[in-house]
Structure 1
């Protein structure tokens, strides 16, 4: 059997093109004949499509499936009209990259994957035909790519709802996977307690706490709306501490286009303050936080650090991944089924901070009961609450209670018993 017959016979294994409800205007015999004519070199793909009355796009799609599965496809693919983007080696590297990002972030959707494929091609200087306006790989290309490599997106994050997840056995599996990955990273990078960090996002504002929950106990990042901006500033903040109990100075995200200088002056020593129009934790803002993190922690490829973050969209952001790789930051997320019980700062810092902030805000409000706390005072109030709550002993105990440091891979069994 010659090469053309070998390739043509593989057509029978490629399946039908989609699940279209309308009847096809061609049959498999015509498709096989057209593919054979092209692969034998008798005619072009366009010529074969015209002769056998097969839609040109359908024939090309079928041919690419055959060619990708055959070692000689690089020669034939140039005749189809669209060259191959990645080599075999590059595709293997891409698959490993996508698998690693999904595993460390505990879930990734198709759109996020397509964005990462585009970024991979750009970062490697690989010529491609992906859209430069959407900055994503095409849906058709990505579908064929995932089918060729049998790449499936996992379900490790799943929907919220710990009890339902544990009853289904999914939550326990995700938590066990978390500790499996954590153990592998610790062993591979020889990480000690001083190189393991947890970052959590919160929010605070001049709104009375009883009117609006500003400090989120679950570590989620609030996004203030326009009405809250007008009545009082809602500021996002990233707090970060190591397993040895050492806090780095807070990183504050101030909403608006112009920073209040007095707010900056009243912030805790060493704090970084950045402007973001809505005060949200965006890709650009988090990349700036990583710069702040590196300045205080000294992470590098030679001395890598592990940073635990409960923000899945941020973890699969190309800019964040690129910055982290260049500075030796190993980013890792949490399974969504039990986020609170695995996060050291959620257990030992957030509620304590909120309690101090409520107290100091109530006391300050007594001096001007009919108005909100002035922005110039807000950073000072936050600083008092932050420094009061940032107790190293509590954080060390938090890492221990979560089974992260000292490393306790059997911790997930304790969670399962509670459900």
Structure 2
């Protein structure tokens, strides 16, 4: 089928069709990628899949009572872009994504919102019972196996002298409609490999 007939059949301007076919032939792009239309001059740094993974990571941390602040998210985005060699205009001196990126990210992912965390002990948050303790140790064992950790890589700091929840907390990112809780009983530190 020729350009003219295809343009008439699918109600596409002939010049647009020719441009997309040219992209496929000259640059070796897949037809789906060549057909993508980017609006405006700004492009997102991460793909949809990468942003979804970032959202899942935020929710994963929030489920485990370690909410990310906006500052932490901007640093994480910078680190993710640098490690994946993605073109970006993030600030290299502060090593953080910009506020424009942050607001765009939050507007694209409306299920995440900024919340004030409640001070909550681990007993209140999880219900200190056999099931909760068992779940904690199952999670700990899976982290042991996943990261190939030994006993000297893990530190347990209880609340006798170390405060893990400050009087004034920063707002954290959480699932919209859910009240995030911070634990203040103990902190488990893992030594990076």
- Deviation at 1:121? 0.9
Distance 1:131 1:182, change over 3 A: same
- Deviation at 1:184? 4.7
- Deviation at 1:84? 2.2
- Deviation at 1:183? 4.3
Show the counterpart of 2:136.
182
Show the counterpart of 1:267.
none
Contact map agreement 1:102 1:108 (CA 8 A) in 2 = yes
Q: CA RMSD in A?
A: 4.2
Cα deviation per residue 1:29-70 (whole Å; 9 max; x = unaligned)? xxxxxxxxxxxx9xxxxxxxxxxxxxxxxxxxxxxxxxxxxx
Distance 1:198 1:94, change over 3 A: same
- Deviation at 1:112? 1.3
Contact map agreement 2:156 2:187 (CA 8 A) in 1 = no
Show the counterpart of 1:76.
38
Matching residue within 114, 119, 124 for 2:74: 114
Distance 1:185 1:112, change over 3 A: same
TM-score (norm. length: structure 1): 0.26
Pairing 1:336–2:183 present: yes
Distance 1:200 1:153, change over 3 A: same
Contact map agreement 2:165 2:182 (CA 8 A) in 1 = no
What secondary structure is seen at the aligned counterpart in 1 of 2:155?
Answer: strand
Contact map agreement 1:121 1:127 (CA 8 A) in 2 = yes
Pairing 1:148–2:108 present: yes
TM-score (norm. length: structure 2): 0.50
Give the count of matched residue pairs.
134
- Deviation at 1:122? 1.0
More helix by share: 1
Cα deviation per residue 1:131-177 (whole Å; 9 max; x = unaligned)? 2233222223212212322223565x534xxxxx58xxx9712566x
Cα deviation per residue 1:203-259 (whole Å; 9 max; x = unaligned)? xxxxxxxxxxxxx93224xxxxxxxxxxxxxxxxxxxxxxxxxxxxxxxxxxxxxxx
Matching residue within 218, 232, 239 for 2:161: 218
- Deviation at 1:108? 2.2
Pairing 1:92–2:49 present: no
Distance 1:125 1:141, change over 3 A: same
Alpha-carbon distance in structure 1 between the residues aligned to 2:133 and 2:182: 10
Distance 1:123 1:218, change over 3 A: same
- Deviation at 1:128? 0.9
What secondary structure is seen at the aligned counterpart in 1 of 2:113?
Answer: coil
Larger CA Rg, structure 1 vs 2: 1
Structure 2, unaligned stretches of length 5 or more? 1-15, 17-32, 167-180, 189-193
Distance 1:87 1:181, change over 3 A: farther
Alpha-carbon distance in structure 2 between the residues aligned to 1:111 and 1:136: 8
What secondary structure is seen at the aligned counterpart in 2 of 1:115?
Answer: helix
Alpha-carbon distance in structure 2 between the residues aligned to 1:138 and 1:181: 38
Distance 1:152 1:174, change over 3 A: farther
Distance 1:148 1:83, change over 3 A: closer
Structure 1, unaligned stretches of length 5 or more? 1-40, 42-70, 160-164, 202-215, 221-309, 313-333, 345-419
Pairing 1:200–2:154 present: no
Distance 1:179 1:135, change over 3 A: farther
Alpha-carbon distance in structure 2 between the residues aligned to 1:154 and 1:181: 26
Alpha-carbon distance in structure 1 between the residues aligned to 2:140 and 2:38: 46
- Deviation at 1:99? 2.8
